[in-house]
Amino acid sequence: MRQTWPLPGGIHPPENKSQSLQRPIAQPPLPPCLVLPLNQHIGTPSVPRVCVGETVLKGQVVADAEGMISAALHAPTSGVIKAIETRPIAHPSGGEDVCIVLESDGEERWIELAARPDYADLAPAEVLALIARAGITGMGGAGFPSATKLQPRHAIDTLIINAAECEPYITADDVLMRERAPGISVGIDILAHVLGQPETILIGIEDNKPEAASALRDALDGSRADLVEIPTRYPSGGEKQLIQILTGKEVPSGGLPADIGIVCQNVGTTHAVFEAVCKGTPLISRITTVTGGACAHAGNFEVLIGTPVEHLLQAAGYDQGICQRLIMGGPMMGFTLADTDVPVVKSTNCLLAADAKESPQNNIPQACIRCGLCAEACPANLLPQQLYWYARARDYDKLAAHNLNDCIECGACAYVCPSEIPLVQYYRAAKGEIRVMQQEKIFSDHARIRFEFHKDRMEKAEREKAAKREQRKKAAEVARSTVGNSQPAPDGTTATDEDSDVVRAALARVQANKSSTEAQLRKLERNLEALDTQLNNAQSRLTEIPESDTGPHGKAAAAIEQIRVKRARVAGELEALKNQAPETPTDTGANAEPAGQDQRAVDKAAEAIARAQQRMAEQQSMSPDDKRRHQRERLEKRLVKARQRLAQAQTDGDENLGAYADAVASLEQKLTALQNTETTAEAIASSGTDTGER
Amino acid sequence: MTEFIGLLSSLALPVLSLVGMAILFGAILGFAAIRFKVEGNPLVDQIDALLPQTQCGQCGHPGCRPYAEAIVNGEAINRCPPGGQATINALADLLDVPAPELDEEHGEEAELKTVAYIREDECIGCTKCIQACPVDAILGAAKMMHTVIASECTGCDLCVEPCPVDCIDMIPIMPTLSDWHWQAPPETGDLIRSPRIIATDRHGAAA
Amino acid sequence: MPLALITSPHQHAAQTTQRVMQHLLLATVPGLVALTWHFGWGTLINVALASITALGCEAAVVVLRRRPVGFYLRDCSALVTAVLLGLALPPLAPWWIPVVGSAFAIVIAKHLYGGLGYNPFNPAMVGYVVLLISFPVEMTRWLAPASILPDGASLPDLQASLQLVFPLLGNTPIDAFTMATPLDTFKHSQGLLVEQVLAENVWFTQGTWSGAGWEWVNLGFLAGGCYLLLQRVFTWHAPVAMLAGLSLMALLNYDAGSSTSGGPLDLHLLSGATMLGAFFIVTDPVTSAVSHLGRLIYGALVGVLIYIIRIWGNYPDAVAFAVLLMNFAAPFIDYYTLPRTYGHEKRGRATKMKD
């Protein structure tokens, strides 16, 4: 008999397993509609490969694994993809997630399977690829993608198969071992092959499963694997705890079993591996225990993944009136379902429809008297009572010092607590709060760095501006002091002269702009126009906001007021300016010479404005025919230019070729349209009707 | 006279020993003050580390670090709405003072974090919002399209005001399934005062 | 979300706090019987008065806190405090002694700190110490057991006892039955060798192993304690450590029975409130240390302190003081005696600062 180590702590709740062991594994009828959540495993959700309306065969891949920690998803039956949308899923929050909805056609047509019973001849990596392709995840309840787990970074010397099934009510692994032990034995062999033949292969099974143990022992005849019976205690089936019981080693805190050379797989996962490799069947169904006082025919069912819970419960004779609480999972670690509208997923090992007797009364918790029964029961040697006090006080430092992260949330402490305190909920909430705080800290640290950089950038810009200002001031001073002195000094004051010229010219421009009444008038008129547009926009926005919405309404009204005030001011300035005596150009005579260039620019602009005004005046006085002709002439000119540009672009190989071509095309279109209008107008005119169009 | 000298001599030893001790301890303290002197005020850094770094200015200071410095000089610790009560509690813990409620005068604690979003159809490319953003989370240039880099936006709200065409919305970030976590159970006192309805215990009545 | 979400586990063991308290009360019965047999009705009256006062005070405070009275009284914790205090008080003390002590214990030492589970000091011991310091005369007036009384004299019957306790009902001199305790006697027998004290003193001549009457009381409490250990109400660490600490100190200081000796081992173990303290006071979970090692240290230091105060202190019996002193130290002990968690190499320390 192989040595085992005792489990520290632990409890022995009533097993309640006999109810679901009365009959062999049954098959529920095929559901009409299957809902496949894309995230049935730990890690990244899988990515759909099919589209709505596509017909799929049984076992066909419908979603691919995404990233390192992910799994593929397969169609559990043949049918049509009805939708890919958010649907309620089985989650403690009662939330929704993206699912592939498959409408079964009842024919159960299989895809062609690639069975490799000769796995021993394949390289371990190839067998691992088969396992990955089959989308296998941990079926003991956690759901970690098996292919990732079987590909550890360290050498593995121990393979442990978890057949403990320590939680009350659950018997899925038990019946699997009773009925399908040979497959499990082959599965163990496959796993050993993938892991490079580890030295020790252990199967841990609790001693309350004698029939399963003997079936497994018969199937393992000749195999290297050692079947070890361990005392029935909850939670001896937890991965970390089973490793401690079977090997005496402890998984380092924050680490993985692979760090100490151990890989642990559930017995259901092992069987799924056998099916995937030797028969080519992907993971499309699992054994689920449906039990509880509210089920007339409690038992184990081979359920297709995606079967609605309602459908499965009906197969077990569910009575909603008796059911006080519906739990997905076992009574110690499962979560309640508010709705039966959710699907069965790869990690659903049990559905417990508890009646009034089986549901706890949920009395109001009393005060913690620090009796220490919880510390006696904790399998991880924590002090749950201290964790409780610190979780209530939100003292995250002390929680970390008391190793909150090592809590496996098994519920043994809350089970024994005489004051009925929901301890596990405190720990879960505290862990969630710590996680949120850590994320916020990362974000705020990042924001601080960005802010510091922003500040530095602003300061640098300020410094550069100040330096430039200094430079200009100095240059201006020098220029003023050396006015008229055009003699270049040997030390290069010619440059200063030139600079001073430029500076003087610039200053003069500014002066001219400021003092020129015309320029000012123009500026004010432009301002007024812009403000008018703004006012119109704001007013139209105001009408859109209902009066009742006082906040935004008030804001918008205030904004309008502001614009009105500005407009009034500008209008006032404009009036004042108009009433002033027009300044003669001689006012600017002091800077006439250096402003010569500027005057030319002003003249040019004045000419352009005059031309534009003339054009406008002409347009207004033109007849429609003339206008059209005028437009056409202009369009033709533009088209010629556009065509030239396109030719140039073609020879240059310009990447904006397409844009040029589009421009040409649109101009041509406009021209054609205009020509059509012209001919129509002429036709109408020639027919004698009044061409009072438009 | 002899009594007086006797008195003096009997006092001499205690007085001398006390003076000697005073000199000794004074020397030790002086040495420690110089040898173990800490530059700057590490408290400001510690406070700044607890603030949420949105640089929104709702506390009345131009950024989180100025507010941290103000707190060291005695400012109230309940002026940061983005940090919320959690930050107030952490500050109170650090400074060993009682934790007051958030001073609503400076803004309410938002239920959900928000992120700015520019309606690009209306953006005129004026760069006013880019200048306003304290963490440079808006991408753009003059007369070019402006857009908010959502992952960098802290939701500080400073860009909404300067926008002349009012095209910036603050959109709340809706929590996803992966953000969900269990809430702490209600306290016994609260439970006693209000009856608790359990989500799944209504199976008899539910459809 | 208006509906509360229920978390796992969805099953619960049968043990409730009320049941734990009831076990405690049951375990005091042998000791109580021994006290009544040897010292008369006094203890029962004390227990009754203390209990009524305790329940009344607790109800009043709970009403002041606007909570439902039934919920808080049903956990029997006030009753346990009162019973322990009543057992510790001298029999036939005036009625206001248990009343004041009990009221102080419940209102000040328990509810002022927040109620059950929040008090840092053992309420019964706080009440006892307050009485001892405030009313030393009444608190040191112990009785002689029935076996030691001279022939013809007997302990007062129920009516006489009530008259003694409530002086308004009548007036009876009490001095006929008072006598110092064995520990007290021993403490004041300096200059005599141990064997002389044992031979000359009627306490020890009439007793089987140790002080007459008192040895049976302590054995009664020992029996109750063993019952609680079997019921797994608490673990063995604290009581065994306390008795071991006390025994070790007693053995070391026995000094071969000289005149300066601290006294024989069985005197210390079977006299005074030793067993009551070991199995009912030191094991009070609210105020003691939390981990196994912590409880060992806590219990051992309580035992050592009891001996120190008994021999070199002013009081003949020192359980209350020793326990209160260690209540101060319990959180500190907790910081340094965390158990080694799964996956860690050594035990952590709760004083670890955030890095």
ipTM of the complex model: 0.88
Q: Tell me the chain A residues in contact with residue C289 when contact means C-beta distances shorter than 8 Å.
A: none
State mean pLDDT over A140-150: 90
Say if residue A2's pLDDT is above 90: no
State mean pLDDT over C13-40: 91
| Amino acid code (one letter) for C40 | G
Find, in chain C, the residue whose alpha carbon is nearest to that of A8. Answer: C342
Structure tokens, A128: 């691992």
User: Looking at per-residue confidence, does A340 or B105 come out higher?
Assistant: A340
Which residue(s) pair with C100 in the sheet? none
pLDDT per position as a tens digit, A347-397: 999 999 999 888 877 788 888 999 999 999 999 999 999 999 999 988 888
Asked if the C-beta of A9 comes within 8 angstroms of chain C's C-beta atoms, the answer is: no
pLDDT per position as a tens digit, B92-127: 888 888 888 887 776 777 778 889 999 988 888 889
**Which residue, among C51, C75, C28, C26, has the nearest Cα to C281 in the 3D structure?**
C28
Greatest CA separation for chain B: 110
Kindly report the nearest CA distance between residue C127 and chain B, in angstroms: 27
- Among A242-246, B61-65, C94-98, the minimum mean pLDDT is found in B61-65
- Choose, out of C3, C6, C7, the residue to mutate when testing the contact with A (most A CBs < 10 Å): C7
Asked if the C-beta of B185 comes within 8 angstroms of chain C's C-beta atoms, the answer is: yes
| Separation CA B187–CA B195 (nearest Å) | 12
Asked if the C-beta of B199 comes within 8 angstroms of chain C's C-beta atoms, the answer is: yes
| Separation CA A535–CA A523 (nearest Å) | 18
Q: Tell me the chain A residues in contact with residue C352 when contact means C-beta distances shorter than 8 Å.
A: 397, 400-401
| Amino acid code (one letter) for A261 | G
Q: Cα–Cα distances in Å, from A272 out to A131, A308, A588?
A: 9, 21, 96
Find, in chain B, the residue whose alpha carbon is nearest to that of A327. Answer: B200
Contact C187, C310 (CB under 8 A): yes
Q: Tell me the chain C residues in contact with residue A360 when contact means C-beta distances shorter than 8 Å.
A: 10-12
Which pLDDT band, with edges at 50, 70 and 90, does B200 fall under?
very low
The structural domains of chain B, ordered by start, are 14-109 (no CATH), 112-176 (3.30.70.20)
Chains touching C by CB (3 or more pairs below 8 Å): A, B
Structure tokens, C116: 């059950």
**Which residue, among A61, A68, A75, has the nearest Cα to A41 in the 3D structure?**
A68
Query: Do residue A447 and residue B135 have CB atoms under 8 angstroms apart?
Result: yes
Q: Tell me the chain C residues in contact with residue B202 when contact means C-beta distances shorter than 8 Å.
A: 3
| Separation CA A185–CA A167 (nearest Å) | 24
Kindly report the nearest CA distance between residue A632 and chain B, in angstroms: 32
Q: Tell me the chain A residues in contact with residue C290 when contact means C-beta distances shorter than 8 Å.
A: 370, 372, 375, 383, 385-386
Which chain C residues have any C-beta within 8 angstroms of a chain B C-beta? 2-7, 67-68, 71
pLDDT per position as a tens digit, A497-549: 555 666 677 777 777 666 666 777 877 788 788 788 878 877 877 777 666 66
B20 φ/ψ angles, rounded to the nearest 5 degrees: -60, -45
Contact C59, C4 (CB under 8 A): no
Chains touching B by CB (3 or more pairs below 8 Å): A, C
- Would you give the DSSP letter of residue B177? G
- Choose, out of C1, C3, C5, C12, the residue to mutate when testing the contact with A (most A CBs < 10 Å): C12
Residue that is written with structure tokens 């001693």 in the block: A207
Structural domain including C235 reads 17-334
Whole-number mean pLDDT of chain C?
A: 88
pLDDT in the model for residue A298: 93
Query: Do residue A450 and residue B152 have CB atoms under 8 angstroms apart?
Result: yes
pLDDT in the model for residue C77: 92
Q: Is residue C4 part of a domain?
A: no
State mean pLDDT over A415-443: 93
User: Looking at per-residue confidence, does A361 or A249 come out higher?
Assistant: A249
Asked if the C-beta of B36 comes within 8 angstroms of chain C's C-beta atoms, the answer is: no
Q: Tell me the chain A residues in contact with residue C233 when contact means C-beta distances shorter than 8 Å.
A: 371
Any alpha helices (H) in C212-285, and if so which ranges?
214-230, 237-252, 265-270, 274-276
Find, in chain A, the residue whose alpha carbon is nearest to that of B153. Answer: A447
- Compute the radius of gyration of chain B from its Cα atoms: 30
User: Looking at per-residue confidence, does C174 or A463 come out higher?
Assistant: A463
pLDDT in the model for residue A653: 66
Query: Do residue A454 and residue B134 have CB atoms under 8 angstroms apart?
Result: yes
Asked if the C-beta of B200 comes within 8 angstroms of chain C's C-beta atoms, the answer is: yes
Asked if the C-beta of B4 comes within 8 angstroms of chain C's C-beta atoms, the answer is: no
**Chain C residues 153-212 with CB within 8 Å of chain A:** none
Q: Is residue C354 part of a domain?
A: no
Query: Do residue C77 and residue A332 have CB atoms under 8 angstroms apart?
Result: no
Kindly report the nearest CA distance between residue B187 and chain C, in angstroms: 13
Q: Hey, which of A459-468, A473-482, A515-524, C177-186 has the most confident mean pLDDT?
A: A459-468
Contacts 24+ apart (CB under 8 A), B6-12: none
Q: What is the CATH number of domain A365-474?
A: 1.10.1060
State mean pLDDT over A467-472: 94
Helix (H), strand (E) at residue A312: helix A309-315
Closest CB to B196 among C4, C7, C67 = C4
pLDDT per position as a tens digit, A187-228: 999 999 999 999 999 999 999 999 999 999 999 988 889 999
Query: Do residue B152 and residue A422 have CB atoms under 8 angstroms apart?
Result: no
pLDDT in the model for residue A681: 67
Find, in chain A, the residue whose alpha carbon is nearest to that of C347. Answer: A402
Start-to-end CA distance of chain B, whole Å, equals 110
| Surface-to-core class of residue C303, CB atoms within 10 Å of its CB (0-12 exposed, 13-18 middle, 19+ buried) | buried
Q: Is residue C26 part of a domain?
A: yes
Residue that is written with structure tokens 């964790």 in the block: A387
Query: Do residue A382 and residue C341 have CB atoms under 8 angstroms apart?
Result: yes
Asked if the C-beta of A327 comes within 8 angstroms of chain C's C-beta atoms, the answer is: yes
CATH number at residue C229: 1.10.3430
Query: Do residue C5 and residue B183 have CB atoms under 8 angstroms apart?
Result: yes
As assigned by CATH, the class of the A18-353 domain is alpha beta
Say if residue C120's pLDDT is above 90: yes
Q: How many CB pairs under 8 A join B and C?
A: 22
Which pLDDT band, with edges at 50, 70 and 90, does A605 fall under?
low
| Separation CA A331–CA A11 (nearest Å) | 13
| Separation CA B76–CA B101 (nearest Å) | 11
Say if residue C99's pLDDT is above 50: yes
Q: Tell me the chain A residues in contact with residue C344 when contact means C-beta distances shorter than 8 Å.
A: 253, 403, 406
Q: Tell me the chain A residues in contact with residue B94 when contact means C-beta distances shorter than 8 Å.
A: none
Q: Tell me the chain B residues in contact with residue C6 when contact means C-beta distances shorter than 8 Å.
A: 198-200
Q: Is residue C158 part of a domain?
A: yes
Q: Cα–Cα distances in Å, from C255 out to C98, C198, C259, C295, C303?
A: 39, 16, 9, 29, 19
Angle in degrees, 0-180, between the axes of helices C237-252 and C292-312, rounded to the nearest 10: 40
pLDDT in the model for residue A38: 93
Query: Do residue A332 and residue C8 have CB atoms under 8 angstroms apart?
Result: yes
Coil, strand, or helix at residue C128? Answer: helix
| Separation CA A223–CA A204 (nearest Å) | 15
- Choose, out of A41, A323, A448, the residue to mutate when testing the contact with B (most B CBs < 10 Å): A448
| pTM for the whole structure | 0.77
Which residues, 6 or more positions from C63, have their beta carbon under 8 angstroms from its beta carbon? C69
Contacts 24+ apart (CB under 8 A), A670-676: A670/A635, A671/A632, A671/A635, A671/A636, A671/A639, A674/A628, A674/A631, A674/A632, A674/A635, A675/A632
Find, in chain A, the residue whose alpha carbon is nearest to that of C352. Answer: A401
pLDDT in the model for residue C296: 96
Closest CB to C285 among A335, A360, A372 = A372
Say if residue B131's pLDDT is above 80: yes
pLDDT per position as a tens digit, C57-96: 999 999 998 888 888 888 889 999 999 999 999 998 999 9
Any alpha helices (H) in A4-116, and if so which ranges?
none
- Compute the radius of gyration of chain A from its Cα atoms: 42
pLDDT per position as a tens digit, B12-48: 999 999 999 999 999 999 999 998 888 777 888 889 8
Asked if the C-beta of A379 comes within 8 angstroms of chain C's C-beta atoms, the answer is: yes
Number of domains in chain C: 1
Q: Is residue C12 part of a domain?
A: no
Chain mean position to CA C104: 16
pLDDT in the model for residue B9: 84
